[in-house]
Structure 1
């Protein structure tokens, strides 16, 4: 039985692997006949590491709204301003996915980083969690999770490098 129905899960921490764990959850959901949408933030367009997901369409669909070919922190202030608008488009798309129940699982990869950079507020992330229905699973990733977002989630997993 597929147990994860309707949960809000967060994968956070300074180590690597948060995206991989989230994508693993999407692949697991597909095994149960579910569909997943992944929206990736802050990674720049040059990250093609998840392009293999295109072979899983339409069961898993990947979206990136940013246009620049480099990581957010490497952008000029003017470029960041442009990308902030693109990121907001991604956030609006996430809201639409939740509202229309278009997918069984929505993964917002590095959305916590978007909050950490101050592009969106803690309240906006919490609002996404609250807008979710009881059936859709929502997965958020990023290095740092704020107290309010942590409290709004059902499960928070911190990944850390031990050795």
Structure 2
């Protein structure tokens, strides 16, 4: 199955990481790739606690492009069951990868692998290739009151 978690609301990555923990607790191997992130946020520490979760950060355009080309070979080599491409839509918005490359990636997905794509402004053409599409809508957020990111909740 292929999932898309998108929209302007909070919780897209959180939902994907929740799915990762659930899968890992069922002894499934989870491979998380964070696009557009180079800092080790708190969520990356999960690798230290859950043995079936592996996280890589592809924060540079070169790493994004080369990583996408080799993704399924790496997944097959490691025997991953779940692949989460966190903030992949940011890479699309910044033109670091193309929509066609993501569509090709989805079409090439092995049947036994669960794929999750997250990020704001997901291009609607990708919806056609997904089995689950969730749009998170922001109704209210404490950022509007001037409260910045809080450790453990936002970063």
For residues 128 and 104 of structure 2, the distance between their equivalents in structure 1, rounded to whole angstroms, comes to 13
Aligned structure 1 segments of 4 or more residues deviating by more than 3 angstroms = 97-101
Residue of structure 1 in register with 2:97 after alignment: 120
For residues 131 and 77 of structure 2, the distance between their equivalents in structure 1, rounded to whole angstroms, comes to 22
Residue of structure 1 in register with 2:36 after alignment: 42
Provide the aligned C-alpha RMSD in A: 1.7
Paired residues in the alignment total 140
Out of 129, 139, 155, the residue aligned to residue 106 of structure 2 is 129
Asked if 1:145 corresponds to 2:122, the answer is: yes
Residue of structure 2 in register with 1:108 after alignment: 85
Asked if 1:18 corresponds to 2:7, the answer is: no
Normalised to the residue count of structure 1, the TM-score between the two structures is 0.78
For residues 134 and 83 of structure 2, the distance between their equivalents in structure 1, rounded to whole angstroms, comes to 17
Specify every segment of 5 or more residues in structure 2 that has no aligned partner in the other structure, as ranges. 141-155
Normalised to the residue count of structure 2, the TM-score between the two structures is 0.82
- In 1, are the aligned partners of 2:9 and 2:139 still within 8 Å (CA)? no
